[in-house]
C-alpha cells in the first residue's frame, strides 16, 4: 500500500512496489527478480584424454555471436564413451564466461525406471533459481514459462546430461539467446536439430593410442610401457570406452600381477559371459570389464554393490545405504569408499552416491544373479522402512503441532536421523524427494502394501509445506490403492482427505468434493473424534471455496464444536479462520470478527505466524466491507509482511488482491492495478487458478 502519508513497502522480495514522487501522481518501479547464481557443474573427470577436436568445436560455438550461434549443442554417442566427461571438462573451462551461473541436470534418459521427465527436471531447476516449493507451478507448460522468464536476458550455461528424447529436453530450453545449452545423449535427437536449430557432434570411442594414453595416466606409465602388447589387448577388451578403461586401470593399479595375466583372466570372463549377452544389450560391450572388476571386490563391497542396484531412487544417502546393507554407518562409509575408489560408484555430493547408468544396470543384474531372493527382499524392506522412519521423524520437526494418524511402524533398521528444527527437516525432504516417490512405487510393486500407504501418509507435512502437487497426487494414488487392497479404512480416509487438499489447491473442486464425500463417512465409521472434526473442517472449507456458504457454515460450526469439546485449540483456530470466510459472504460481519480475533489469539500464543497471517488478512477483508479502511489496510499489510517472512506465496497473492480491493474503494486506481499485477504474477508462478476474493 502507498498513500499520501506513508511510503509503505508492500511487495515481496521479487515484486517490490516503491512509490516515487507523490506530487502529480504516483509512479512505480518493479525491478527484475533477484535469483541465485547456481553453480551446479559436476566434478571434472580425472585422466581426461583425447577430446581436443570436440573441445575445439565447442570453443568455436561459444565464440560465435549469439545472434547466429546454434542455441544448443548436442554431444551424441554410445554409453560410456565419455559424453558427460567432455561436457563437464569443457563447461569448467568456460564457466567464467557465464556470470549468471551454470545449471546441470542428469535426465537419466537411459536408466530403466529412473528416467527424469521434463516436469520433474523443471522442479529442480526452479528450486535452483530460488523458486520455493509452494511457488512452483503444477503444469509443465507453466513451469517451462516461468523458467524462461527467470533466465531471460541472463548469461547462463545449461548442461542437460543423458537425454533420451527431444520431448524430454524441449521444455528445458531457454528463450534467451544469451544462454547456451549443452546436451548429451545416446540418441541423435534429429527433431532438435530441425526445429530448434541445434548443432550436433558425434563422439566415438578413443583411438587405440589414446586408450593407451588414458591407461598410462590412470595406471602408471611404467606399468603400461613395460607390457605394451598386453596393454593394447586390455584396451581392446575395454572396447576403447573411457568408462571401461578407467575401471580397468583401477584394477591394474590395485594389483601387482602382470598385465598379461590380468588380460587372460579378463578373456576368460568375457567368454563366460558371451552366452548371457546379445547385440541389443547396452551392457554387451563392457559387461566383461564390469564383471572382472566386480569379482575382484572384497565380499563385503561386492554385496553392497549388488544391493545398491536394488534401490529405486536416482541416488542414495549414507544413512539409507547403511539401512539397505544392514551395516553400521561407519562400516558402510568405508565400503562405499572402496566402491568409489574402484570407479564403480560416484559420490556426487557429500555422503550421497549414484551409479553411472550402465553400472546401475549391471549392479541390478548382479543382484538378481548372485544374491539370494531372501537377502534381496530383506534389504529392500530395510531401505523402505528406513525411509519411513526418517520421513516420520522429519515431519515431527517440520510440523510438531500436527495431529497424526496412528501407524504401527516396522522396526527401525539401524540409526534414524535426528532433526534439530524445521529447516533441517525440510532440507532432508528436498534431498530425498525423488527417492521417497520412488520408494512408494517400489513398495507397491513389491507387495509391501502397508509401507506403500504409510510412506505417503508420513509425507503429508512436506506436501503442505512444499506443495509438490504432482508428487502429492502420484504418491497418494498409489497409497490409496494399497490401503484399499489391505482393507485399512483409516488410511484410505486420511489419503482421500489429503488428496482433496491437493485437488482444491489445483482448483478442481468437483474432484476434491468427491474425495471428501468418500472420506467423511469412513471417518465417521472408523475414525477418532479429532479426525472427524478435521474432515468436517476440510469439507466446510471446500464448500466455502465453492461459494456454498450455508453448507460451509453448517459443516464448520459442527467441526468447531467438536474441536472445542476435544480441547484442540489448533484445530479450533484453523476452523474459526475458515468459518469467518463463510460468515463474511453471508454478511455476518460481527460473528466473523469475533471468530477471527479468537483465531489470532490462539495463533499468537502458539507462535504460528502463517495461520495468524491468514486470519489477519481475513480480518482486513471484513473490516474493509464495514468501511473501516485504515484498520483494514493495517491488518492486510501486516498479513503480507508475515506471509513474506514464512514464504507463503499463496497468502501473499490473496493479500495483494485484498489490498487492490481496498485501494479501488478508496479511488486509488493505479495502486490497485499494481497490486492486481503482483497478485497475478504470484498466481501464475504457483500454477494455481486465481480464486475469487469477494
DSSP string, 495-548: HHHHHHHHHHHTT-HHHHHHHHHHHHHHHHHH--HHHHHHHHHHHHHHHHHTT-
Overall pTM surpassing 0.85 (yes/no): no
In whole angstroms, what is the distance from residue 476 CA to residue 456 CA?
Answer: 6
Whether residue 55 has pLDDT greater than 50: yes
- How many structural domains compose the chain? 3
Tell me, what's the pLDDT at 274?
56
Q: How far is CA 489 from CA 170, 224, 484, 522, in A?
A: 43, 67, 7, 7
120 vs 438, more confident: 438
Q: Mark whether 76 and 189 lie in a shared domain.
A: yes
CB 384 within 8 A of CB 455: yes
Whether 179 is covered by a domain: the verdict is yes
Whether 343 is covered by a domain: the verdict is yes
Whether 262 is covered by a domain: the verdict is yes
In whole angstroms, what is the distance from residue 334 CA to residue 351 CA?
Answer: 11
Q: Mark whether 74 and 121 lie in a shared domain.
A: yes
C-alpha cell read off for 469? 502437487
Q: Which of 513, 534, 609 is nearest to 578 (CA)?
A: 534
Q: Which tens digits make up the pLDDT trace of 356-384?
A: 877 888 899 899 999 899 999 999 999 99
Whether 543 is covered by a domain: the verdict is no
CB 315 within 8 A of CB 348: yes
Q: Which tens digits make up the pLDDT trace of 514-542?
A: 999 999 999 999 988 888 898 899 999 99
* Main-chain phi, psi angles of 236, to 5 degrees: -65, -40
Q: Which residues contact 533 (CB under 8 A, 6 or more apart)?
A: 559, 562, 563, 566, 568, 571, 575
In whole angstroms, what is the distance from residue 573 CA to residue 621 CA?
Answer: 18
CB 239 within 8 A of CB 67: no
DSSP H helices, 187-227, are 190-195, 208-219, 221-226
In whole angstroms, what is the distance from residue 423 CA to residue 412 CA?
Answer: 24
Span 463-470, mean pLDDT? 80
Give the least confident one: 339-348, 377-386, 404-413.
339-348
In whole angstroms, what is the distance from residue 354 CA to residue 337 CA?
Answer: 12
Q: How many Cα atoms are found within 13 Å in the side-chain-facing hemisphere of 342?
A: 24
Whether 149 is covered by a domain: the verdict is yes
CB 292 within 8 A of CB 234: no
Span 498-503, mean pLDDT? 94
Buried/exposed code over 263-300 (b: 16+ C-beta within 10 A; e: otherwise): bebbeebbeebeeeeeeeebbebbbbbbbbbbebbeee
Domain boundary among 171, 202, 233: 202
In whole angstroms, what is the distance from residue 510 CA to residue 246 CA?
Answer: 57
C-alpha cell read off for 181? 545449452
Tell me, what's the pLDDT at 280?
47
CB 147 within 8 A of CB 172: yes
- pLDDT level of residue 181 (50, 70, 90 thresholds): very high
Task: State the CATH number of the domain containing residue 112.
Answer: 3.40.50.300
Q: Mark whether 166 and 87 lie in a shared domain.
A: yes
Burial class for 385, CB neighbours closer than 10 Å (0-12, 13-18, 19+): buried
Whether residue 471 has pLDDT greater than 60: yes
In whole angstroms, what is the distance from residue 539 CA to residue 202 CA?
Answer: 58
Domain boundary among 353, 371, 389: 371
In whole angstroms, what is the distance from residue 569 CA to residue 8 CA?
Answer: 34
What percentage of the chain reaches a pLDDT higher than 90? Answer: 53
Give the least confident one: 252-266, 279-293, 483-497.
279-293
Domain boundary among 349, 371, 393: 371
Span 281-291, mean pLDDT? 72
C-alpha cell read off for 342? 574402484
H/E run at residue 31: none
Q: Which of 201, 278, 270 is nearest to 239 (CA)?
A: 270
Task: State the CATH number of the domain containing residue 303.
Answer: 1.10.10.10
Q: Give bridge partners of residue 316 from the DSSP assignment.
A: 353
Span 26-30, mean pLDDT? 38
Whether residue 544 has pLDDT greater than 60: yes
Whether 14 is covered by a domain: the verdict is no
Give the least confident one: 3-7, 268-272, 439-443, 578-582.
3-7
Q: Mark whether 144 and 67 lie in a shared domain.
A: yes
Tell me, what's the pLDDT at 687?
58
Q: Which residues contact 150 (CB under 8 A, 6 or more apart)?
A: 33, 35, 126, 129, 131
Whether 686 is covered by a domain: the verdict is no
DSSP H helices, 326-421, are 329-341, 357-370, 373-398
Q: Mark whether 83 and 193 lie in a shared domain.
A: yes
Q: Mark whether 80 and 183 lie in a shared domain.
A: yes
Span 272-301, mean pLDDT? 71
What percentage of the chain reaches a pLDDT higher than 70? Answer: 89
SS3 category, 74:
strand
Whether residue 279 has pLDDT greater than 50: no
Whether residue 611 has pLDDT greater than 90: no
Tell me, what's the pLDDT at 474?
94
CB 199 within 8 A of CB 69: no
Q: Mark whether 82 and 196 lie in a shared domain.
A: yes
Q: Mark whether 265 and 310 lie in a shared domain.
A: no
Q: Mark whether 213 and 346 lie in a shared domain.
A: no
State how beta strands 352-354 and 346-349 pair. Answer: antiparallel
Q: Which residue has the cell 511457488?
A: 135
Q: Mark whether 264 and 325 lie in a shared domain.
A: no
Q: Mark whether 85 and 182 lie in a shared domain.
A: yes
Q: Mark whether 194 and 243 lie in a shared domain.
A: no
- pLDDT level of residue 426 (50, 70, 90 thresholds): confident
Question: What is the extent of the structural domain holding 348?
Answer: 299-371
Beta strands across the sheet bearing 72-76? 102-106, 157-163, 180-185, 72-76, 199-202
Give the least confident one: 285-294, 476-485, 534-543.
285-294
Q: What is the mean pLDDT of the chain?
A: 86
Whether 103 is covered by a domain: the verdict is yes
Amino acid at each position: 500500500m502507498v498513500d499520501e502519508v506513508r511510503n509503505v513497502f508492500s511487495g515481496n522480495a521479487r515484486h517490490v512496489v516503491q512509490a516515487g514522487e507523490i506530487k502529480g501522481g504516483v509512479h512505480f518501479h518493479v525491478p527484475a527478480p533477484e535469483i541465485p547464481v547456481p553453480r551446479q557443474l559436476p566434478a571434472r573427470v580425472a585422466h581426461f584424454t583425447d577430446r581436443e577436436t570436440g573441445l575445439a568445436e565447442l570453443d568455436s560455438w561459444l565464440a560465435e555471436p549469439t545472434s547466429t550461434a546454434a542455441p544448443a549443442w548436442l554431444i551424441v554417442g554410445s554409453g560410456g564413451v565419455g559424453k558427460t566427461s567432455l561436457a563437464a571438462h569443457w563447461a569448467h573451462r568456460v564457466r567464467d564466461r557465464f556470470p549468471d551461473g551454470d545449471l546441470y541436470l542428469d535426465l537419466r534418459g537411459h536408466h530403466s525406471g529412473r528416467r527424469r521427465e521434463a516436469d520433474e527436471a523443471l522442479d529442480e531447476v526452479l528450486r535452483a533459481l530460488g523458486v520455493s516449493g509452494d511457488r512452483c507451478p503444477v503444469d509443465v507448460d507453466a513451469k517451462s514459462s516461468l523458467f524462461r522468464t527467470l533466465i531471460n536476458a541472463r548469461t547462463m550455461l545449461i548442461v542437460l546430461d543423458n537425454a533420451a528424447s527431444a520431448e524430454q529436453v524441449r521444455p528445458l530450453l531457454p528463450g534467451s539467446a544469451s544462454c547456451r545449452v549443452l546436451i548429451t545423449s545416446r540418441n541423435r535427437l534429429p527433431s532438435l536439430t530441425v526445429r530448434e536449430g541445434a548443432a550436433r557432434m558425434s563422439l566415438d570411442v578413443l583411438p587405440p593410442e589414446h586408450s593407451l594414453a588414458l591407461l598410462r595416466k590412470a595406471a602408471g606409465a611404467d606399468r603400461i610401457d613395460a607390457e605394451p602388447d598386453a596393454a593394447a589387448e586390455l584396451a581392446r577388451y575395454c572396447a576403447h570406452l573411457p568408462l571401461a578403461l578407467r575401471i580397468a586401470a583401477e584394477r591394474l593399479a590395485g594389483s601387482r600381477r602382470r598385465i598379461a595375466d590380468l588380460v587372460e583372466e579378463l578373456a576368460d570372463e568375457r567368454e563366460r559371459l558371451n552366452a548371457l549377452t546379445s547385440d541389443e544389450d547396452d551392457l554387451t560391450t563392457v559387461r566383461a570389464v564390469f564383471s572382472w572388476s566386480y569379482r575382484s571386490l572384497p565380499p563385503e563391497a561386492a554385496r553392497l554393490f549388488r544391493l545398491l542396484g536394488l534401490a529405486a531412487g536416482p541416488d542414495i544417502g549414507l544413512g539409507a545405504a547403511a539401512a539397505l546393507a544392514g551395516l553400521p554407518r561407519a562400516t558402510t562409509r568405508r565400503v562405499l569408499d572402496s566402491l568409489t575408489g574402484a570407479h564403480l560408484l560416484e559420490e556426487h555430493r557429500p555422503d550421497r552416491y549414484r551409479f553411472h547408468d550402465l553400472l546401475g544396470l549391471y549392479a541390478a543384474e548382479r543382484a538378481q544373479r548372485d544374491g539370494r531372493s531372501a537377502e534381496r527382499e530383506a534389504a529392500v524392506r530395510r531401505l523402505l522402512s528406513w525411509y519411513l522412519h526418517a520421513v516420520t521423524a522429519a515431519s515431527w520437526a517440520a510440523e510438531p503441532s500436527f495431529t497424526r494418524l496412528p501407524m504401527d511402524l516396522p522396526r527401525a533398521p539401524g540409526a534414524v536421523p535426528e532433526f534439530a528444527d524445521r529447516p533441517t527437516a525440510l532440507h532432508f525432504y528436498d534431498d530425498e524427494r525423488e527417492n521417497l516417490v520412488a520408494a512408494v512405487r517400489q513398495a507397491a510393486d513389491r507387495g509391501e502394501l502397508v509401507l506403500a500407504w504409510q510412506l505417503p501418509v508420513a509425507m503429508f507435512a512436506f506436501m503442505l509445506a512444499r506443495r509438490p502437487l504432482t508428487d502429492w497426487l502420484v504418491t497418494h494414488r498409489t497409497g490409496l490403492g494399497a490401503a484399499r487392497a489391505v482393507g485399512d479404512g483409516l488410511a484410505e480416509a486420511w489419503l482421500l482427505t489429503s488428496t482433496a487438499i491437493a485437488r482444491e489447491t489445483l482448483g478442481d473442486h468437483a474432484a476434491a468434493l468427491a474425495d471428501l464425500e468418500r472420506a467423511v463417512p469412513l471417518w465417521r465409521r472408523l475414525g477418532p473424534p479429532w479426525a472427524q472434526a478435521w474432515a468436517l473442517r476440510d469439507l466446510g472449507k471446500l464448500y466455502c471455496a465453492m461459494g456454498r456458504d450455508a453448507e460451509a457454515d453448517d459443516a464448520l460450526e459442527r467441526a468447531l464444536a467438536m474441536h472445542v469439546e476435544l480441547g484442540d485449540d489448533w484445530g479450533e483456530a484453523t476452523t474459526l479462520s475458515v468459518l469467518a470466510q463463510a460468515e463474511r459472504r453471508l454478511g455476518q460481519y460481527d460473528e466473523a470478527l469475533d471468530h477471527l480475533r479468537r483465531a489470532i489469539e490462539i495463533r499468537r500464543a502458539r507462535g504460528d505466524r502463517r495461520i495468524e497471517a491468514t486470519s489477519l488478512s481475513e480480518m482486513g477483508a471484513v473490516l474493509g466491507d464495514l468501511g473501516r479502511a485504515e484498520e483494514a489496510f493495517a491488518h492486510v499489510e501486516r498479513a503480507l509482511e508475515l506471509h513474506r517472512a514464512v514464504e507463503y506465496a499463496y497468502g501473499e497473492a490473496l493479500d495483494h488482491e485484498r489490498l487492490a480491493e481496498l485501494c479501488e474503494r478508496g479511488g486509488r486506481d493505479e495502486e490497485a492495478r499494481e497490486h492486481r499485477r503482483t497478485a497475478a504474477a504470484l498466481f501464475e508462478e504457483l500454477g494455481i487458478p486465481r480464486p475469487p476474493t469477494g
